[in-house]
Structure 1
Amino acid sequence: MIPLFDISLQLNGFPIKKAKAELNEIVNLSKEDYDVFLRNKKEEIVNFHLENNSFYQELVANTNDWKWENLPVLNKQNLQKPLEERLSKGYTLKNVYLNKTSGSSGTPFVFAKDKYSHALTWASNIMRFGWFDIDFNHSYQARFYGIPMDFVGYHKERFKDFLSQRFRFPVFDLSDEVLEKFLRKFKTKKFDYINGYTSSIVLFAKYLEKRNILLKEICPTLKACFVTSEMLFESDKNLLEKQFGIPIINEYGASELDLIAFENTKGEWQINAETLFVEILDENNNILPYGKEGRIVITSLFNKANPFIRYEIGDIGILDEKSTSQKPILKKLIGRTNDVAFLPSGKKSPGLTFYYVTKSIIEDDGNVKEFIIKQIKPDTFEIEYISEIQLNTKQIQKIEEAIALYLEPNLTFTFTRKTVLERTNRGKLKQFKSYL
């Protein structure tokens, strides 16, 4: 079988062969050599951005004699300015990998990765999925994700699915009729694994439970299920294991960074220490020891296009006491939960559907700083947002059109511009909340 996935990365300018070779070297370093590698990479990435990135130079007070613990902690608000102002010398919108954050934290922005850094992200994904005998070039994926609804975006995503051996189950409508169609696909297709949003996969498992169906009996080729983007609760994990009959693997990532933690074959949530450096900080930016709960702050060791140095992702977590620099273990992650919207037609949509809706208003000018969406009644929603300039009628109309397309027509939305938004008691902004 032709390795279409690797070939497509290579053709798009992502040097996957080189990235796989370097990742393999890093993984096989001795403890002493790894510590030297980490120290050198941290120094190298900071010095690179201090020399080549005016945005980062402005943030660092003492650019000549910097100390790691005195470097600023970046947050999402820092990054909400046009991307051209944040790119390093030698990088343009044409020669980088570009994307938008999902906005699941309520603070969206556009980001860039240099092409080698993005190739390393894929090499890291390939290695971790390989722990469970999944090969992106040959294994067939049942993908529980959203999909853009505009013509170009839709077909581009479908083509990527073809190259990546994926069959996509769009998650905007998870009513029983749709879940029954999903089930029929599992009867006829030889899927190797499931991957997608936690809440959508859990809804599918609840449907199977109601029907008293074990998925592995319907689709014997299934080997594993990987859940992402939202919190996986223990009770949901038990349900998935019971209804699917396969290992359930929990991943934690961020599009602007990489896979941050991935459950290994021993059931430990292993931090990606090959391309990232993860710290836990207290409210005064002091580094906390293993076992203490604090803010998760992450450095991308390879991204030269856009600095992600000591970047606060917006989650709270604990690194296990048995962690080492080479193999940190995430003991606990607090945050990243999403509700499900129940609509008048009986349709159920995961909160992450709003990522696709809000994509239509997240422009690179960084006007909308934060937003939350509240479901007050089955057909009534409130969007509260912070912005420099109030949303105009044209922008609101654009959002309403996107809502009708992704959710259903005839829903009522009110838009309220605020100076401050309500946060959880841990300081996390929850993008979607249902009051039903």
Structure 2
Amino acid sequence: MKIYPQMISLFDISLRLNGFPVKKAKAELDEIVNLSEEEYVLFLQNKKKEIVDFHLKNNPFYKNLVRNKTVEKWEYLPILNKQNLQKPLEERLSKGYSRKDVYVNKTSGSSGTPFVFAKDKYSHALTWASNIMRFGWFGIDFNHSYQARFYGIPMDFIGYQKERLKDFLTHRFRFPVFDLSDEVLEKFLKKFKTKKFDYINGYTSSIVLFAKYLERKNIVLNEVCPTLKACFVTSEMLFESDKKLLEKQFGIPIINEYGASELDLIAFENPNGEWQINAETLFVEILDENNKILPYGEEGRIVITSLFNKAHPFIRYEIGDIGILDEKSTPQKPILKKLIGRTNDIAILPSGKKSPGLTFYYVTKSIIEDDGNVKEFIIKQTKLDSFEIEYVSDFELNKTQIQKIEKAISLYLEPNLNFSFNRKTVLGRSKSGKLKQFKSYL
């Protein structure tokens, strides 16, 4: 039995027109999902060997990272980190691939270490197939379900129009999250009263702020929008207290997802309430400080391998988070028991406007350059109108770059904010070793 309805849709057509073979990807994902436990173990073993062999043969960047050594065991492979990847993309692409025939994007920089990455089109099609399958667990069909999207949006004309076109093609209505004042949240609520949304998807902190607004107004969302089926939160940690608030004020299931744009959905809460790891396109390990693989139940660094991406190596890639795999995990069905990290503060501005920390993703796009100059950065709010940007770079930001950043700040936040730029040799980290991109000291 197939897990996907065979239908023509605007969503599927838009993927195909962009060169993503989603039909083939859905078919392969369907085969992987239906493997027996024994077949899956063999599949995983073969895919790990296949992807390593491919990149050792076709990717000079990865071959140099391995240092041309003969690697006899998986655990001897080097750990790839974000600092390794901060060099021009052309130096990291596999032979036979160019920018013209791959999917290229930038990481959000939420970890403080941004870079440009690539996926071959089949690998990216598998990412979409994975999304379609998992959202389908909760009765959501990307072809027909109407999404209320709590995300940012580029403010330049071309970027804005591109996102609005994507919103149209993927059947979603966007609620920009740069301003979450009560006046704006009231406008959000009016949209829910007039539109037949099927589900909510977006940044955790923004959705939680909306739920707090509903709580103050004593409103349950699915009473004013009865078509709502589920809410999916992403990009930031969902605390248990916030989940209870969302369930109470929305009146629908709250599903927690954990992903990375350069990889795929990493873990997705299944209908049984388990945070199920994506074992179809990824291989997830938990390592200690000496890169030793830890058993289920022990806390360590999350390291991930993309099993299908041939355009760019993500093999034993340290994502920057700490986690625990549940003791009841199996190779075919790993369960993420605990994730440490992925939280963002809220910036409160002089006008009274509230903006989630992830707003700074859109600001810091101004300093994310493909030449890899800026290695890491953190942003601190010290006063209502004052912020500090600390960054590590090969070269100090020049006047033109700083003006570009200040212009983006005025566009995405508000004018007349004061920013200081401090170049550092090293940035302070939390005990977990993770950088937090934004921190408010108010």
User: TM-score if structure 2 supplies the norm length?
Assistant: 0.98
Tell me if the contact between 2:363 and 2:405 (Cα under 8 Å) persists in the aligned partners: yes
Equivalent in the alignment of 2:83: 77
Matched position secondary structure for 1:32: helix
Match of 1:117 among 117, 123, 131: 123
The CA deviation string for residues 295-352 of structure 1, in whole angstroms up to 9 with x for no partner, is: 0000000000000000000000000000000000000000111000000000000000
The CA deviation string for residues 114-160 of structure 1, in whole angstroms up to 9 with x for no partner, is: 00000000000000000000000100000000000000000000000
Matched position secondary structure for 2:55: helix
Q: Alpha carbon RMSD of aligned pairs, Å? A: 0.7
Tell me if the contact between 1:404 and 1:410 (Cα under 8 Å) persists in the aligned partners: yes
Tell me if the contact between 1:295 and 1:312 (Cα under 8 Å) persists in the aligned partners: yes
Tell me if the contact between 1:50 and 1:63 (Cα under 8 Å) persists in the aligned partners: no
Equivalent in the alignment of 2:70: 64
Tell me whether 61-70 or 132-141 shows the greater mean CA deviation.
61-70
Match of 1:291 among 297, 322, 342: 297
Matched position secondary structure for 1:94: helix
Tell me if the contact between 2:71 and 2:77 (Cα under 8 Å) persists in the aligned partners: no
Verify: 1:136 aligned to 2:138, yes or no: no
Which residue identity lines up with residue 184 of structure 1 in the other structure?
K
Equivalent in the alignment of 2:216: 210
Separation (CA, whole Å) in 2 of partners of 1:65 and 1:174: 52
Match of 2:156 among 136, 150, 159: 150
Verify: 1:346 aligned to 2:352, yes or no: yes
Provide structure 1 residue ranges, at least 5 long, that are not aligned to the other structure. none
* Deviation of 1:2 (Å): 5.3
Which residue identity lines up with residue 93 of structure 2 in the other structure?
L
Equivalent in the alignment of 1:252: 258
Match of 2:405 among 384, 393, 399: 399
* Deviation of 1:408 (Å): 0.2
Separation (CA, whole Å) in 2 of partners of 1:290 and 1:7: 41
Tell me whether 269-278 or 56-65 shows the greater mean CA deviation.
56-65
Tell me if the contact between 2:277 and 2:333 (Cα under 8 Å) persists in the aligned partners: yes
Separation (CA, whole Å) in 2 of partners of 1:377 and 1:289: 45
Equivalent in the alignment of 1:328: 334
Verify: 1:359 aligned to 2:347, yes or no: no
Match of 1:390 among 392, 396, 399: 396
Which residue identity lines up with residue 194 of structure 2 in the other structure?
T
Separation (CA, whole Å) in 2 of partners of 1:375 and 1:277: 37
Equivalent in the alignment of 1:228: 234
Which residue identity lines up with residue 151 of structure 1 in the other structure?
F
Matched position secondary structure for 2:258: strand
Provide structure 2 residue ranges, at least 5 long, that are not aligned to the other structure. 1-6
The CA deviation string for residues 354-397 of structure 1, in whole angstroms up to 9 with x for no partner, is: 00000111010000000000000010000000000000000000
* Deviation of 1:426 (Å): 1.1
Equivalent in the alignment of 1:20: 26
Separation (CA, whole Å) in 1 of partners of 2:198 and 2:433: 39
Tell me if the contact between 2:300 and 2:323 (Cα under 8 Å) persists in the aligned partners: yes
* Deviation of 1:65 (Å): 4.0
Separation (CA, whole Å) in 2 of partners of 1:59 and 1:417: 28
Which residue identity lines up with residue 50 of structure 2 in the other structure?
E
The CA deviation string for residues 42-85 of structure 1, in whole angstroms up to 9 with x for no partner, is: 00000000000000000113543432100000000000000000
Verify: 1:42 aligned to 2:48, yes or no: yes
Separation (CA, whole Å) in 1 of partners of 2:64 and 2:366: 31
* Deviation of 1:425 (Å): 1.4
The CA deviation string for residues 191-245 of structure 1, in whole angstroms up to 9 with x for no partner, is: 0000000000000000000000000000000000000000000000000000000
Equivalent positions of 1:189-208 (< 5 A) are 189-208=195-214
Moved over 2 A (4+): 61-66
Q: Could you tell me the percent identity over the aligned residues?
A: 85
Tell me whether 57-66 or 240-249 shows the greater mean CA deviation.
57-66
Match of 2:38 among 7, 32, 42: 32
Equivalent in the alignment of 2:3: none
Verify: 1:104 aligned to 2:121, yes or no: no
Equivalent in the alignment of 1:162: 168
Equivalences, count: 436
Match of 1:179 among 153, 170, 185: 185
